[in-house]
Amino acid sequence: MDRTAARQYRIEVVYGHGAEDNAFKAQKVSGAWAYDQQGKMIPVTVQRLEDHARLVPLKPPAVMTVALDNGMWTRNAEKKWINEGRSKVPNGTDSIHTFKYSVAIYAEDAHLPSFSKLNFVIVPQADPLKVGVGKPLPVRVLIDGKPAAGIKLIGDYRSAPDVVSAETDAQGLASVIVRNEGLNIIAAEVTQPVKDNVDIAERGLFTSLTFVGEAHHD
């Protein structure tokens, strides 16, 4: 779940690296939250389809957030990744539990919620829909609700998913240049060590901020 995409007035959860759109188990979507212009929650239904998930808010949202629990993964003796904890994989080596989060902003001047349900989040410090192409968008990155330093931000995840654009400072702040007049996806990921756990050695977090950029103005 690297982002959400509006398709024919529905919101689809898109899973994949960069511009990829891969099938995934819809039950991995652990939560979806929609908000109106004032930041009030809108009821949302998660339709779990065969190869992806569809989000159906009661009315068009100004902001949408999604969480996906990708489960525990362990590399077995043949170096193949198995979707289980290492206690269930004989001779397993590397092990990680991965989580993915996404924020999509659809409306200008939207009041942003607290994002307390997202363990890893990129919070814009200005309205991303108004910044304009080529201009810096200030953001703050939070992990477990606290500012996260040293997080590398990918400014154009859809077109250049491996190019780092900025890095957060001690307050979790950074500026990312808005790349596109259309769809923009700013992303980050981090891996953290986990102690005293029989199933995993690391926690992997991915997060994205999605919005449609404003046209360039001189």
Provide the pLDDT for residue 17. Answer: 44
* pLDDT single digits (tens) 61-102: 999 999 999 899 999 999 999 999 999 999 989 999 999 999
Question: DSSP secondary structure string, 125-189?
Answer: SS-HHHH-TTSEEEEEEEETTEE-TT-EEETTTTT-TT-EEEE--TTSEEEEE---SSEEEEEEE
pTM to 2 decimal places? 0.86
**Mean pLDDT in residue range 148-155:** 97
157 versus 52: the higher-pLDDT residue is: 157
* pLDDT single digits (tens) 95-120: 999 999 999 999 999 999 999 999 99
Please determine, for residue 5, whether its predicted confidence score (pLDDT) is greater than 80: no
State the amino acid at position 116 in one-letter form: S
CA distance 2 to 13: 8
Give which of 194, 189, 42 is closest to 101, Cα–Cα: 189
Provide the pLDDT for residue 13. Answer: 53
Give me the percent of the chain exceeding a pLDDT of 70: 85
* pLDDT single digits (tens) 165-198: 999 999 999 999 999 988 899 999 999 999 999 9
3-state secondary structure of 107: coil
